[in-house]
Amino acid sequence: MLFSNNTYGMVRAIMAGIFLSLSLCTCSTTDVSDNKGFHPDLPASGEENGGNGNPSQKEHLRYIRIVAIAKPFSSPDKGEWVLNKARGLDTDYTAQDIIEMVEDLKPHRIERILTGYANEDMQVPVRDGEEPMTLKEFLNAVMAAGAEGCDIAPKLDLSWLGNEKQSQFFWDSAQKLYDMELDRPIRCINLDCWNSLVDEQQTTAEERSAMFKRLRDIGYTEIGVNMTGHVNDNDPEIDYVVFTLKKDTWTINTTALERVKSWPNIQKIFQYIDYPSPFTEFFTTLSPDEQADIYADNVVARQDELGVTYAWPIIQGEWDANAHRTSENGRWKGKTMFEVFKELMYK
């Protein structure tokens, strides 16, 4: 159920009188009232490349994924630090490690560093001898380490809306994330599991429109949706779309891409390999050399042509780009996948 029983009837009544207008709002990194585009230092609509997709050949958007705080339903802080051996990595990472990675890559955005809202006063791991650091301090430091205007886009899982208790957490998180007093406030949200909302929960277009309106009423100026598994059922309030590469060939799904490009509200289109199942297969069955070749030849080489941007997975689940290295004598000369990603995102 998308909304609790107490509010469902009210939402239905309100929606009967609502006509949604096409929204082309984008995420401001400073003053929402002076919103010009996703990032102030880059063109807003990809005009230099002729439409949807990357903003220009001079500097592509650099979006990365570092899943640092997750497991919101298993911790009293509504989230735990998952960048450690206990969660399947080879390294127990500290806040300083992550800040240094971000400083090296200089991304414009860090996606999914939070899953839902977590206690901003919770302590994050720090190196020996460093001052204690709260989650709020960590998020500010991470954004400061990125490119000019770097922001974060937390994840909210649309499958939560099918459970009354988790639905309340979804909406509490949406409000609290927006209200966090960060140096660069959160004004964009990354919605996962569109297929759950549309197919499993069997929501109507009107119910989905009500959800997007509620997010806009909170104040979000940019809404992205991961449509993997269901690249259909557009809503005019969606600003950008993410969907996975084709699993059989590890290439961009041009059929889905053309469909998304026909939706006039979509301002950016992002590619990735869906986690966990396809991505786990990708990095466990292919060598780092083969993976790097696919990223370079199947994805990056076609970004400008097709008008898409790849969202680079730095650390996600058991995957750590620092822990996988190419062969010394091959095309990539012994670089780690982190180093490969850095090279490719600046192509």
CATH number, domain containing residue 95 = 3.20.20.80
Q: Tell whether 8 is covered by a domain.
A: no
Q: Give the per-residue pLDDT at 142.
A: 98
More confidently predicted of 5 and 311: 311
Q: How far is CA 302 from the centre of its chain?
A: 21
Q: What is the mean pLDDT of the chain?
A: 87
- For residue 319, give every residue at least 6 positions away whose Cβ sits within 8 Å of its Cβ, in sequence order, or none: 275, 279, 280, 283, 313
Domain count, the chain: 1
Residue type, 335: K
Q: Is the dihedral of CA 271, 306, 58, 344 positive or negative?
A: positive
More confidently predicted of 66 and 18: 66
Least confident of 20-34, 114-128, 204-218: 20-34
What range defines the domain where residue 120 resides?
59-345
Q: Tell whether 88 is covered by a domain.
A: yes
Q: Tell whether 199 is covered by a domain.
A: yes
For residue 229, pLDDT beyond 50: yes
